[in-house]
Amino acid sequence: MSEEESPRWFPHSIYIASYQTDDPEKKLDIQETINRLYDKYGGSRSSMPAKLEFTIGPISGYVKEIVRQASQVLLVATGSIEAKTKSSGLITPRDEYDQLIEDLKKSLPENPGSAYSLKSIYTPARTEAAALIEGWARNLGQPVRSAGLVKGCLVATVKSFNQDSLLLPSKRLIISPCEQGFDEASKAVWMMCSDISALAACVGQMNRLYSERELIFSQTEAGETSTQLRINEILAELRRPLDEIQPKNLEAVLKEITVLFSRLSTASNSMRRDYIKAKGIFREMSNLLAGWTERSVDDYITNSSAEMHYVKDLMVPFRDFAQRTEALMAQLNTVLDSVRTYLGIQQHKLSIAEQTSSKEQLIRLVNLQETLHKLEILIVAVYLTEMARIVFETLLHESAGFLTVAFIPVALLISIFLGRILHKNH
Amino acid sequence: MSLRIPEDWFVNPRVLGDFYRKYKGYPIEEIRKVSFEQGLAVGRSMKKQLGITGDDLEALASLLRAVLKDEPTAKIISVERAELLLRNSGFCPLMTACLSMNLPWTWLCSALGWPFFHGLASAVNSKVNLTMSKRREKGDPYCDHTFEIGEGKLVIP
């Protein structure tokens, strides 16, 4: 927020809420909210950016939309032209400024991705500011989570708790501009509002990303256990004697592994994609907070470190989910290798059996061929003997029978001789 | 706008995404009815194909086993006289589709998933009740589909 744009009065109570959507159809109509507030409180309004400034008696009010990438941030502030200084412990948790903020909040859209409630108190001396923060935290009944000096302001955040989730969508801060004049202090607070609006946009994006996946994170353990059990069952099946494993069973196993593998791959890649998105948000936030050049106060962790720790904690389940599903995929690859090995062994066995069978067939063929050769010799011998008998009966009729019998060995020898000549090339 | 549920919604995440974008504003009860009818048609066709003639929970178990034979995440845990328990665990198709396409898990299960199963079961016996006794979309470790012969209701506690 530039110096010209910021109101001249001192903001005492501030509420910053960020809303996220990727869908242009779902973008909030902030101008419409501003118009409604204008109808109620009057003042001066404008569009581009949508904003409203009004006064109710001594109290001034300000509502402004800040658009940052996929976030719409609403900055709502109430304050006065006079400095409100109180000594430590005297800040009431709800004063007239807070009451007006609460009224204004009723007109704002519900469920922001992140919300920051800020209380701003002007303290000329730094020691007074530190005591003030302690007193404020005591009044709220919540310990201070982080504190630091940012751009001339002492900024502190109280601890928030959420037993059911890592998500902390709303945070409470106190800002105390110190060791500077009232005008500079006012500008410093408005500057902080601008910085916290940018921070709210980043944190809101991260909160939304996390909340969209929170249910899946809660299923990681159960999903992993169930898949692991199934992998163990498949491996146990594959450890059975080779003869008991039927190709049909292996086919079913392959089909199942393919289904499991594709689901795990989809889940893991989607989570990797979200993790990369989260890293982008973290980078943006780190750059923003680096610009704060925050200095630590007493033993408190700085606000910048606390915010970065918070976002880092939200990023961990994304990485863990991706790594755990990838580990399951690695196991499925082992199962796939086992199935491939079994299929290879079975194929090898089949080819050995085929080789043995064709060898036996060859022997049978050779034997058959030999038998045929012998038969061939006999046929030729019979044919020659019959021819000789015809010749003998014609030439030497009386001794034809004797000569035919005597010719049989000769016919056999001729037949063998002919057979050898004919099959010489085979 | 006439409602049409694609046949391959349970295996195709893209189809689920398109369906959600098109019908997210549609009354959920209407979508449930159509999904139930789709399950009923699939159930009747499978019943005929398998030659299932009974109307008890054993017959329903045979049908469910056949329909879910290629689904590694669904398993029939027990079939008793009065109750059949089907458990869905691990990375089911709807869960992975919701994750990859950024879709609302609860909406898809309640609009498409459970009515479809109820329709399947009703093909065996129109008086079958399906109670979603455990639901992962509300944080349970698995989804338990409990089938009982009753009044033909889908109960989502």
| B13/chain A closest Cα distance in angstroms | 10
**With an 8 Å Cβ cutoff, is A269 touching chain B?**
yes
* Nearest residue of chain A to residue B91 (CA atoms): A223
Q: How many Å apart are CA A170 and CA A157, to the nearest integer?
A: 11
The pLDDT of residue A87 is 42
Number of domains in chain B: 1
- Give the residue among A199, A148, A137 at the shortest CA–CA distance from A302: A148
User: If you average pLDDT over residues A296-325, what whole number do you get?
Assistant: 94
Between B157 and A94, where is the model more confident?
A: B157
Task: Say yes or no for a CB contact (<8 Å) between B96 and A263.
Answer: yes
Chain B contact for A171 (CB, 8 A cutoff): no
Indicate if the pLDDT at residue A94 is higher than 60: no
- Return the pLDDT at A269: 94
What is residue A280's predicted lDDT score, i.e. its pLDDT? 96
Nearest to B72 by CA among A234, A368, A425: A234
Is residue A88 a contact partner of residue A144, using CB atoms and an 8 Å limit?
Answer: no
Give residue-wise pLDDT tens across range A212-254. 999 899 888 888 998 998 899 888 888 888 777 777 778 888 8
Residue-level pLDDT at A83: 57
Give me A66's structure tokens.
């800040």
Q: Residue A347, class by beta-carbon neighbours within 10 Å (0-12 exposed, 13-18 middle, 19+ buried)?
A: exposed
Between the CA of residue A86 and those of A102, A154, A350, A391, what are the distances in Å? 22, 15, 93, 152
Structural domain span for residue B47: 13-155
Instruction: Evaluate whether residue B3 is within a structural domain.
Output: no
Q: Do A226 and B93 touch (CB under 8 A)?
A: no
Please check whether residue A272 touches B, CB under 8 A: no
Pairwise pLDDT comparison (B3 vs A170), residue with the higher score: A170
With 60 as the cut, is the pLDDT of residue B83 above it?
Answer: yes
Angle A312-A315-A317 from CA coordinates, rounded to 5°: 130
Q: What is the mean pLDDT of residues A127-146?
A: 83
Question: Among A215, A255, A269, whose Cβ lies nearest the Cβ of B105?
Answer: A215
Is residue B122 situated within a structural domain? yes
Report the 10 Å Cβ neighbour count for A378.
Answer: 13
Contacts of A223 in chain B (CB under 8 A): 89-91, 95
Query: Three-state DSSP class for A347?
Result: helix
Rounded-to-integer distance, Cα B116 and Cα A133, Å: 58
Residue of A nearest to B95 (CA): A216
B71 and A263: CB-CB below 8 Å? no
pLDDT tens digits for range A355-391: 999 999 999 999 998 888 889 889 999 999 999 989 9
What percent of chain A lies above the pLDDT cut of 90?
A: 45
Query: Is B91 in contact with A215 (Cβ distance < 8 A)?
Result: no
Query: A219, B102: Cβ pair inside 8 Å?
Result: no
* Per CATH, domain A207-354 is 1.20.58: yes
Q: What is the pLDDT of residue A84?
A: 53
| Contacting residues for B102 by C-beta, under 8 A, at least 6 apart | A212
* Residue of A255, A263, A269 lying closest to B91 (CB–CB): A263
- Within 8 A by CB and 6+ apart from B66, the residues are B46, B50
Q: Determine, for residues A256 and B72 on separate chains, whether the beta-carbon distance falls below 8 Å.
A: yes
User: CB of A285 within 8 A of CB of A202?
Assistant: yes
Q: Does B99 touch chain A (CB under 8 A)?
A: yes
A228 CB within 8 Å of a chain B CB: no
Q: Test A269 with B100 for CB contact under 8 angstroms.
A: yes
Angle formed at CA A208 by CA A207 and CA A210, multiple of 5 degrees = 65
> Could you say which of A212, A219, A271 has the minimum Cβ distance to residue B95?
A219
Which ipTM score applies to this complex? 0.86
Task: Tell me if B91 and A212 make a contact (CB, 8 A cut-off).
Answer: no
pLDDT value at residue A88: 37
Determine whether the interchain pair A218/B71 forms a contact, defined as Cβ–Cβ distance below 8 Å: no
CB nearest to B99's CB, from A227, A259, A270: A270
Going by their DSSP bridges, the two strands A44-46 and A51-56 should be labelled as: antiparallel
> Any idea which of A131-135, A150-154, A270-274 has the lowest mean pLDDT?
A131-135
Helices of type H across B76-152: 93-101, 105-108, 114-122
Residue type, position A385, single letter: T
Cβ contact B105–A256 (<8 Å): no
DSSP A197-228: HHHHHHHHHHHHHHHHHHHHHHHHHHHHHHHH
Whether A2 has a pLDDT exceeding 60, the answer reads: no
Check residues A267 and A131 and name the one with the higher pLDDT: A267
B4–chain A nearest CA distance, Å: 24
- A267 → closest Cβ in B71, B99, B142: B99
Query: Which residues in chain B are closer than 8 Å to A249, comparing Cβ atoms?
Result: none
Q: What is the mean pLDDT of residues A169-183?
A: 87
Q: What is the mean pLDDT of residues A83-105?
A: 67
Taking alpha carbons only, the member of B116, B121, B115, B99 closest to residue B7 is: B116
Within-domain flag for B144: yes
Residue A89 has pLDDT above 50, yes or no: no
Which pLDDT belongs to residue A69? 80
B5 within a domain of the structure (yes/no): no
Under a CB-based contact definition with an 8 Å cutoff, are residues A400 and A389 in contact? yes
Please tell me which residue of chain B has the smallest CA distance to A22: B102
For residue B125, pLDDT over 70 is answered with yes
Is residue A50's pLDDT more than 60? yes
Residue B19's domain is classified under what CATH number? Answer: 3.30.1380
Q: Does residue B142 form part of some domain? A: yes
pLDDT confidence of residue A1: 52
**DSSP at A106:** T
Q: How far apart are the first and last CA of chain A?
A: 103
Q: Report the Cα A158 to chain-centroid distance in Å.
A: 32
Average pLDDT, chain A: 87
Give the closest residue to A43 by CA, choosing from A9, A14, A66. Answer: A9
Partners of residue A217 in chain B, C-beta under 8 Å: none
Interface probe with B: pick from A216, A231, A260, A272, most Cβ of B within 10 Å: A216
Top-ranked range on mean pLDDT: pick from A212-221, A286-295, A405-414 = A286-295
Closest CA to A205 of A146, A267, A280: A280
The lowest-confidence range among A174-188, A214-228, A240-254, A399-413 is A240-254
pLDDT given for residue B2 in this prediction = 72
Q: Which of B9, B13, B23 is nearest to B107 (CA)?
A: B23
B-chain CB neighbours of A259 within 8 Å are 70-72
Which residue among A221, A227, A256 sits closest to B91, beta carbon to beta carbon? Answer: A227
Chain B residues whose CB is inside 8 A of the A264 CB are 91
How far apart CA A66 and CA A30 sit, in angstroms, is 10
Interface A–B counts its CB contacts (< 8 A) at 61
Structure confidence by residue, pLDDT tens digits, B35-68: 999 999 999 999 999 999 999 999 999 999 999 9
Q: How far is CA B40 from CA A205, A235, B68, in A?
A: 42, 37, 15
**Contact call for residues B110 and B49 (beta carbons, < 8 A):** no
pLDDT category at A135 given cuts 50, 70, 90 is confident
- A260·B90 Cβ contact <8 A: yes
Q: Name the residue ranges covered by the structural domains of chain A.
A: 207-354, 356-422
Report residue B77's pLDDT band, with 50, 70 and 90 as the boundaries.
very high
